[in-house]
Structure 1
């Protein structure tokens, strides 16, 4: 039926053209924004997930920045420790030179004082963004936190993780506000020396002792602190390992070398051996220890006493040499003896050991922070990729769709034009 009131063909063509125009508008919006889900109305679920993940990724970027700041702070502290170690090596060298006879100790002390001041400068300068881990006051927290992670659990709760660094044993200088210094360089170091003197004079200076037979053996035991006792053995091979030209001990120097080698072979560390002016063997250590009974066996008939070893265990005695901090070392004082200088060298050695340990600790933290930075960077990229999969438009697909819709639009316009001409055909029916 043909009607001049209702043009069904035109209405259908118009609806089709409107749908095509709407689809074109949506496609053009996707192409211009790059998103197939740019608003909640496009896909509420995907939009919600993407919005939350974008927010978390922004926070993750702040975590990455925090790791960068933490890394720089650790680097500053590590650089300070490395420089302090070099200065301590210099101080040790100066003390060694100052222990020699005829050296002007006052001039050597001037150099040491300058190095001590340099240590203070290094500690005070090793800071980043207001944080100094090497020089702390009484109000400083000894636990430092480096923000390192951000995570969200299944319930949606957000958790911020951090790397904790305890700087208690890293600080070079510290002041608890009560007059007690606990930094590596300004704390008081105990110089207590534990010695054990055999009480039996060695006779090797007057009568050489030869380990002529392979079965010649001298033994004694050493017990350090709470550890189990270790058996120390002296054989003909011990003498050769100690650097003697043959298997005969002819001097106190030979005897000291042999005893040191025997302790080394028994894996006993931290005990030194000297021979005093009365030919007594003196064992010394900074830690408590005791010696067991000495015994000798073998064809040659060597006696333990000839080596200055007691067949009845001597008790451990304690000799306190005092206590001092590295910053208080002064060899220019008139009362300073060679023994005092040696004690100062012990103080520097202990400080060097602690600085080295602190640097190792920071090195491990540097490695962890660096690894975490790499992980956070990759995680941010992964989240971006995941969000993109949810909401990004496929530009190849959308451009193809746009081309098709443009063609449909042109055809729709032509169809509407044809439908609108049908009324003109009806008018021709009424013409003569």
Structure 2
């Protein structure tokens, strides 16, 4: 039989405990709705929070990898642009040498062709020297390889440099490559043909490296998206579910308040015993 006491109201205590429990659940649900996260701090779920933080850090650090790979793309693009110019110049040099090999030319015409040839040759050196992006070049012969970040562990993507300078194309710059006679001009044609072949092969190699960078950059972007989606699966709240739960808890809270009110009123019934 329940004890009728004005000092101890068991019903009210039970109702209060249930109401407090409902209020705590309601607070958690409101926090999830406000933040959009079911795990917003370590106290919500320490293991999941730590895992999410680790993966978020990895996803964030991939931005540095993407920046490095994009610099690599730009460096190669500049080299390829210079290479296109250089191959065009070599074609024009061959044209001048071929024209100068004609023994029927007078001296003035021959000298004009030599001058044009030398000017084109000097432009090749300028194009190769200026083929830089952010101070780095894979075309001027100043370095053998350039490396760019490939992953968050510090591993790198290596691009083999391809010198497009005169020396890199097999034309000896110290000998001031030119011609003084029609016979020498004819010999120069062979040298220029070899240089054109060398240049196209080197540009093909750079093109392959650029494709490799493009592919890896695409992969890094997909990896970053996957990591971010994974973190979301760990910590994001299902707002549709939380909204439905909110409605339920609000109703439960109102009922709890009414139950507590009823329990508190039960003590006053004892007064009727003394009337």
Correspondence for 1:128 among 130, 133, 136: 133
Contact 1:326–1:347 (CA under 8 A) maintained in structure 2: no
Length-normalised TM-score, structure 2:
0.92
- In structure 1, the partner of 2:11 is 9
Asked which structure has the greater RCO (Cα within 8 Å, sep 6+), the reply is 2
Correspondence for 1:33 among 26, 29, 35: 35
Question: Take 2:200 and 2:165, find their aligned partners in 1: how far apart are those partners?
Answer: 15
Structure 2 gaps, min length 5:
none
Cα gap change, 1:380 to 1:327, in 2 (>3 Å): farther
Contact 2:124–2:165 (CA under 8 A) maintained in structure 1: no
Question: Take 1:92 and 1:173, find their aligned partners in 2: how far apart are those partners?
Answer: 17
Correspondence for 1:173 among 143, 165, 174: 165
How far does residue 425 in structure 1 lie from its aligned partner after superposition? 2.2
Question: Take 1:414 and 1:342, find their aligned partners in 2: how far apart are those partners?
Answer: 108
**The residue matched to 1:131 in structure 2 has which SS?**
coil
Normalized per residue, the structure richer in strand is 1
Contact 1:116–1:327 (CA under 8 A) maintained in structure 2: no
Question: Take 2:168 and 2:208, find their aligned partners in 1: how far apart are those partners?
Answer: 21
User: Which 4+ stretches in 1 moved above 3 angstroms?
Assistant: none
How far does residue 400 in structure 1 lie from its aligned partner after superposition? 0.9
Count residues in correspondence: 270
How far does residue 374 in structure 1 lie from its aligned partner after superposition? 0.8
Structure 1 gaps, min length 5:
151-158, 175-181, 189-324
Q: Give per-residue Cα distances to partners, 1:313-364, cap 9 Å, x unaligned.
A: xxxxxxxxxxxx4982333x3xx2x331121111111111110001000110
**The residue matched to 1:149 in structure 2 has which SS?**
coil
**The residue matched to 2:148 in structure 1 has which SS?**
strand
- In structure 2, the partner of 1:352 is 196
Q: Give per-residue Cα distances to partners, 1:162-194, cap 9 Å, x unaligned.
A: 221222xx11238xxxxxxx4226x53xxxxxx
**The residue matched to 1:330 in structure 2 has which SS?**
coil
Question: Take 2:143 and 2:200, find their aligned partners in 1: how far apart are those partners?
Answer: 23
Question: Take 2:174 and 2:219, find their aligned partners in 1: how far apart are those partners?
Answer: 42
**The residue matched to 2:4 in structure 1 has which SS?**
coil
User: What does 1:84-99 correspond to in 2, within 5 Å?
Assistant: 84-99=86-101
Return the index of the structure with the highest Cα Rg: 1
- In structure 1, the partner of 2:158 is 164
- In structure 2, the partner of 1:328 is 176
How far does residue 142 in structure 1 lie from its aligned partner after superposition? 1.3
How far does residue 25 in structure 1 lie from its aligned partner after superposition? 0.7
Correspondence for 1:149 among 139, 147, 151: 151
